[in-house]
Chains A and B, each alone.
Chain A
Amino acid sequence: MSEHRDGNALAGPLADIFTVEATTAEVQCRACGLSTTLAQLVVYGPEPGLVGRCPGCSEHVIRVATTPSGTWLDLGGATSFHFTSTATRASSR
Chain B
Amino acid sequence: MVHVTRGFTGRHPATDDRLPPGQYLTDDFPVLSAGPTPAIRRDEWTFSVTDGDQALRSWTWDEFMALPSEDITVDIHCVTRWSRLDTTWRGVAIDDLLADVDTAAEYVLARSYGGYTTNLPLEDLLDGKAWIAYEHDGEDLPAEHGGPARLLVPHLYLWKSAKWIKSLDLVEDDDPGFWESLGYHDYGDPWREQRYQGD
**Chain A interface (Cβ within 8 Å of chain B)?**
1-4, 42, 44-45, 47-49, 51, 53, 58-60, 63, 65, 67-69, 72, 74
Closest residue to A59 on the B side, CB-wise?
A: B115
| B139: min CB distance to chain A, Å | 15
Chain B residues near A48 (CB-CB < 8 A)? 32, 34, 79-80, 159, 179, 184
User: B64 in the interface, Cβ–Cβ < 8 Å?
Assistant: no
Which residues of B are in contact with A by a Cβ distance under 8 Å? 31-37, 79-80, 115, 143-144, 159, 179, 181-184, 195-198
Closest Cβ of chain A to B149, distance in Å, is: 17
CA distance A59 to B178 in the complex (A): 13
Identity of the chain A residue whose Cβ is nearest the Cβ of B32 in the assembled complex:
A47
Report chain A residues within 8 Å CB of B115.
59-60
Q: Once the chains bind, are A69 and B34 in contact (CB under 8 Å)?
A: no
The CA of A28 and the CA of B163, in the complex, are separated in Å by: 28
Task: Decide: A67 and B196 in contact? CB cutoff 8 A.
Answer: yes
The reply to whether B182 and A44 contact each other, CB–CB distance below 8 Å, is no
B143: A residues at CB distance < 8 A: 1
A49/B35 contact (C-beta < 8 A), A2-B144, A68-B196, A69-B198 known: no
CB distance from B195 to the nearest CB of A (A): 8
Of B80, B144, B182, B183, chain A has the most CB atoms within 10 Å of the CB of B183
Are A65 and B182 closer than 8 Å at their CB atoms?
yes
